[in-house]
Amino acid sequence: MDCPRDNTEMSELTDGEERLLSRCAECGGLWVDVADLNRILLHAGLPTLEQARERLRDALISIPWEGLKLSAGDPALPVTVIPAS
């Protein structure tokens, strides 16, 4: 497999049985097939890539359009200012 970044032929790192990672000697990139990644994640008791993406989608908060009208220094989130005593 060639490196997706620079098309250099990559070497494969294995656990002795199956290919786990592909390493590019040119850019140092480590690449893993999505099926292999999910297998590794499941083996470690972690959410799969799709489950992690779904979790991130659910957690993302976007700033309302009104937030784009803020002036410099205005808070983007509702805040309560407590005066210093």
Residues that bind Zn ion (CB under 5 A): 3, 5-6, 8, 24, 26-27, 29
Question: Which CB atom, from 4 or from 67, has the smaller least distance to Zn ion?
Answer: 4
Question: Which CB atom, from 11 or from 51, has the smaller least distance to Zn ion?
Answer: 11
- Show the 3-state SS of 9-64: ECEEEECCCCEEEEECCCCCCEECCHHHHHHHHHHCCCCCHHHHHHHHHHHCCCCC
CB of 21 to Zn ion, least distance (A): 13
CB of 68 to Zn ion, least distance (A): 38
